[in-house]
Amino acid sequence: MAISKREAVAALPAGFAPELRELQVFLTLADELHFGRAAERLQMNRSRVSQIIKTLESRIGAQLFERTSRRVRLTPIGEQVRTELAGPYRDLRDALARTRQLAGGVTGTLRIGMYVPINSGRYMAKIIRAFTAGHPGAGVELIDTGFERDDLEWLRAGEVDMLATRLPATDHDVIVGPILSREQRVLLVSKDDPLAAQESVSLDDFADRPVADTPPFRREMMDAFIPPVAPSGRQLRRVTTRSPEDLLLRIAIGEQVHPTVASMLAYVSHPEITSVPISDLPPSETALVWLDTARSATIHAFAQTAADVLASTELARALTVG
């Protein structure tokens, strides 16, 4: 049975003041509705998460979650407590992050990974210049994450602090920050290919041609960038790609074609390759992403700088219109 906001607030004991860690655990479990996933996201063991929730329920004097062997769900009071506390928790967390930044400063080298330079968009140099000008004690290192494993693995292993990566990136432990690029789709083909003479192509026009695949990369990103099935129902034939150089050579000699974004040839040009617009694929976006457990003032300062720089660009206007 649902309860009113007034009833939920009345259920909280007078003078109730939860610790920040208790709020973090409660809100994380409220998002995940799974003790194992919440524990992984919080980087603590499952029994500790359960203990903190039980302590919080005892202090409130009400059950916040219904637990069975098969599911976890919020009680009506739990739902209302989440509604009441989520906003104040975010405000307090952000205020503490800003305080730490003022106390410790934004210093050190920020490592930004990307598997191809095109992921950083056309404004990355401008963002870096603005960041280092505003934070003289900090620097930026760009790291090539390559094609051997998914770039999110670099992030989770602590080998990079942020990524410039292609979307979507919907993993529960990842925060998607400022959009770095949004580009129309094109097909890279050999200049001798019959498709090179067309004004545009559709997925069905090249559904019988081999296209690139990078098995270590997350499937949701690969399938969004190159759909596995054409509108006609024909399945696209994927060929494993080991490097950009390998891909360009295969395209140049006519072994395969490559659906990509319009600016790719500006980064990795080849005299025997041209591009043709794709009419039935939506624009593709890249963004800055980082782990939601990251509390580095440098990460958040860079994300804010990127947002400020990008707000005055043609990209921001295009995203607003789109």
Per-residue pLDDT tens listing for the chain (322 residues): 444 444 444 445 555 556 788 888 999 999 999 998 998 888 888 889 999 999 888 888 889 999 988 899 999 999 988 988 888 888 887 777 666 655 556 888 999 999 999 999 999 999 999 999 999 889 999 999 999 999 999 999 999 999 999 999 999 999 999 999 999 999 999 999 999 999 999 999 999 999 999 999 999 999 999 999 999 999 999 999 888 888 999 999 999 999 999 999 888 778 999 999 999 999 999 999 999 988 788 999 999 999 999 998 888 777 765 5
Q: What Rg value do the Cα atoms of the chain yield, rounded? A: 24
Q: Are 278 and 185 in contact (CB under 8 A)?
A: yes
Q: Which tokens hold the place of 213?
A: 């695949």
Considering only CA atoms, which of 204, 215, 212 is closest in space to residue 250? 212
Q: Which residue do the tokens 């009506």 mark?
A: 76
* Cα atoms in the 13 Å half-sphere on the side-chain side of 93: 19
Please tell me the CATH superfamily of domain 105-182+285-321, with its number.
Periplasmic binding protein-like II (3.40.190.10)
Tell me if 308 sits within 8 A of 178, measured CB to CB: no
Task: Give ranges for CATH 3.40.190.10 in the chain.
Answer: 105-182+285-321, 185-282
Where are the domain boundaries for CATH 1.10.10.10 in the chain? 5-103
Rounded alpha-carbon distances, angstroms, from residue 271 to 2, 247, 252: 66, 14, 8
Q: How many CB atoms lie within 10 A of CB 195?
A: 16
Determine whether domain 5-103 maps to CATH 1.10.10.10: yes
Residue in the structure block whose two tokens are 């603590």: 44
The pLDDT score that the predictor gives to residue 178 is: 96
Interval 267-281: pLDDT, tens: 877 899 999 999 999
Rounded distance between C-alpha atoms, residue 188 and residue 171, angstroms: 30
8 Å CB contact between 204 and 230: yes
pLDDT of residue 13: 54
Question: Which string of DSSP letters, residue by residue, matches 35-57?
Answer: HHHHHHHHTS-HHHHHHHHHHHH
Q: Provide the 3-class DSSP secondary structure of residue 274.
A: strand
Fold of 185-282: D-Maltodextrin-Binding Protein; domain 2 (3.40.190)
Residue 201, beta-bridge partner list: 278
The order of strands in the sheet holding 273-277 is 258-261, 185-190, 273-277
Tokens read off for 103: 């106390």
Strands of the chain (E only): list them.
Answer: 65-67, 72-74, 108-114, 138-144, 162-166, 174-183, 185-190, 210-213, 237-240, 258-261, 273-277, 284-291
